[in-house]
Amino acid sequence: MGHIGLTPQSMHAMGGFKVQGRDAQAALGLVDDAKELAHAGCFAIVLEGVPDRVAARVTRTVDVPTIGIGAGPDCDGQVLVFHDVLGLEHRVVPKFVRRYADLHTEGVVALRHFADDVRSGAFPTVDESYRMADAEAEALGLYGAA
């Protein structure tokens, strides 16, 4: 699978999270890169952080599926980072991210409840524990074991 536009491994070299291909020359470079990737045998190409019109042109130009992440609606498919979709982190997210849940807040609350229950001895209960037959416990010398 090919990957053009904003590539995380070269983000710092590109000056941070910046949309790629905003001017005509850079956009044509991305189209050429996509053609080369398709010609080289890529089965699909991820288009990340590129203007929607550039992504649409790439999609029309190559014969392999395009998968957009911050590349507009005209790609053949879409992807978002799992943590972003579920809202697992509280951080500034790129413009194209749509959070479908706020599991960070729910997760913090759940972990606090868990820690409180462990500290107080409310977790685990007998119902949440595996049991051994009394005869087997006695054979081990565990008389009166819970």
Give the active site residue among 48, 89, 106, 138: 48
Cross-strand pairs, 5: 48
Distance CA 1, CA 66 (A): 10
Take residue 80 and report the two structure tokens written for it.
Answer: 């978002």
Residues facing residue 69 across a β-bridge:
48
The CB-based long-range contact list for 35-39 (8 Å cut-off, 24+ gap) reads: 35/61, 35/62, 37/2, 37/4, 37/62, 37/64, 38/2, 38/62, 38/63, 38/64
**Catalytic annotation on 48?**
yes
Query: What are the catalytic residues?
Result: 48
